[in-house]
Amino acid sequence: MKTITITPVRQLVSLFIAALSLGALLQLTPAVAAAIAPPGAPVAGMIDHVDHIVVTASDPQATIHFYTEVMGMHLEQFGEGRVAFTFGNQKINMHVRGHEIEPKAHLPVPGSLDLCVIASVPLDQVIAHLKAVNWPLVDGPVARTGARGPIRSVYLRDPDLNLIEISEYVQK
């Protein structure tokens, strides 16, 4: 049997390589982490952002008016008669009660949405617009906490009584 002698230099090189490997493992990108994770293991940070949500409307024309004229979103028609309201990099798809697209929420009912959006203009300008189009506020402006810190918000309801919060981030 042959004996292998580990010299201090070889030991030092082995420790250095192990340290580099450990450093690389600690700096994994989400894609690499997902590739080496056991099947079915949760991956931290695997969701990036919301693409769209769905609002169920009882009166499609009133809903279109609210989201385009009151909220200032853009009307998008797609597919076979489908309607969405686009803003920023997101959209709100509209389902009509009783004619929802499958698959759908377990109980898709008008008035069950509670949504907060961040305004692209100062909140005072939003408030002035809402007054100009004679749309009543439920509450606000009030201080709240958003996903990324303190926000200033106003609340209103769409035609199906969904609660819509329009906010701006407060400078710290």
Which residues, other chains included, contact 98 with Cβ-Cβ below 8 Å and sequence gap of 6+?
none
Largest CA distance in the chain: 93
Spell out the residues 6+ positions from residue 135 whose beta carbon is closer than 8 angstroms to its own: 70, 156
Dihedral pair phi/psi, residue 29, rounded to 5°: -80, 160
Residues annotated as catalytic are 165
Amino acid making up residue 5: T
List, as one string, the DSSP characters of 94-130. Answer: EEETT-PPSS--SS--TT--EEEEE-SS-HHHHHHHH
Cβ atoms of 153 and 141 closer than 8 Å: yes
- Residue 145 tokens, joined: 């906490």
> Quick count: other Cβ atoms within 10 Å of Cβ 63?
23
